[in-house]
C-alpha cells in the first residue's frame, strides 16, 4: 500500500488526463484538417521521415498521417476510459489497472515511433517531446504498480501454479528453466 494514496491517485489521474486532452486534441486536429496535420512542421516530421524511408507517395503520406491520428485518438480514448473509471470508483473500490496499462503501452509505442526520426535527424526538440511522453508514461506505470500491488502478486502466483503443473505433468518433456539448446554437450 502506498504511503500517500491520494497523491499517487492524483498523479495517475493527471497523467491520464494529460494524454486524454493533449493527444485527443492533436488527433482530432490531424483527423479533421485538410492536410491531416502535415502542415505542422513540428508534429509531422515522423510521418515525413517514415514515408521517405519506405518510399510513400503523397497519398501514402496522407494515409500514414491518418493512421498516426487514429492511433493517438485510440490512446486518448483509452486514457479517457481510465479517467471515467477513476470517477466511477471515487467513493468505493479501485479502478481497473489494466485499462491504464494498455493506454501507457500505446503511449510508449507511439513515442518510440515518434522519437526514431528525431534521433536520426538530430532534432533535439522532437526528442525532448517524445522523451517527456515516455517519462510520464513510466511514472504513471510505476505509480500504477505501486497503487495495485495485488496485480503483481497474481502474476507471481500464476507463475508458481504453472511451474507446479509442469513439474507434476508426466507428459511434459521440458523442465522449467531447462536450456533447450546447448551446443557443447
As a whole number of angstroms, the distance between CA 125 and CA 123 comes to 6
- Whether 122 maps to a domain, the answer reads yes
pTM for the full model?
Answer: 0.75
Look at residues 124, 132, 112 and name the one whose alpha carbon lies nearest to residue 42: 124
For the chain, the domain total comes to: 1
- In-domain check, residue 67: yes
Give per-residue pLDDT as tens, 63-97: 999 999 999 999 999 999 999 999 888 877 788 88
Give yes or no for residue 53 having a pLDDT over 60.
yes
Average pLDDT on 39-49 reads 82
Does residue 162 belong to any structural domain of this protein?
A: no
Question: Containing domain of residue 54, as a range?
Answer: 5-157
Identify whether 54 is part of a domain. yes
CA 123/CA 126 separation, integer angstroms: 6
Taking CA atoms, 16 is separated from 111, 122, 158, in Å, by 15, 29, 29
pLDDT band at 161 (very low <50, low <70, confident <90, very high): low
Amino acid at each position: 500500500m502506498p504511503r500517500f494514496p491520494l497523491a499517487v491517485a492524483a498523479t495517475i489521474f493527471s497523467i491520464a488526463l494529460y494524454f486524454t486532452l493533449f493527444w485527443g486534441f492533436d488527433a482530432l486536429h490531424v483527423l479533421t484538417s485538410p492536410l491531416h496535420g502535415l502542415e505542422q512542421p513540428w508534429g509531422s516530421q515522423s510521418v515525413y521521415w517514415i514515408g521517405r524511408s519506405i518510399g510513400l507517395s503523397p497519398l501514402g503520406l496522407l494515409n500514414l498521417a491518418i493512421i498516426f491520428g487514429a492511433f493517438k485518438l485510440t490512446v486518448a480514448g483509452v486514457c479517457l476510459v481510465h479517467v471515467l473509471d477513476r470517477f466511477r470508483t471515487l467513493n468505493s473500490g479501485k479502478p481497473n489497472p489494466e485499462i491504464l496499462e494498455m493506454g501507457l503501452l500505446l503511449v510508449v509505442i507511439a513515442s518510440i515511433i515518434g522519437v526514431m526520426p528525431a534521433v536520426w535527424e538530430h532534432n533535439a526538440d522532437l526528442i525532448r517531446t517524445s522523451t517527456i511522453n515516455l517519462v510520464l508514461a513510466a511514472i504513471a506505470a510505476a505509480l500504477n504498480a505501486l497503487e495495485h500491488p495485488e496485480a503483481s502478486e497474481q502474476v507471481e502466483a500464476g507463475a508458481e501454479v504453472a511451474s507446479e503443473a509442469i513439474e507434476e505433468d508426466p507428459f511434459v518433456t521440458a523442465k522449467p528453466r531447462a536450456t533447450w539448446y546447448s551446443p557443447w554437450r
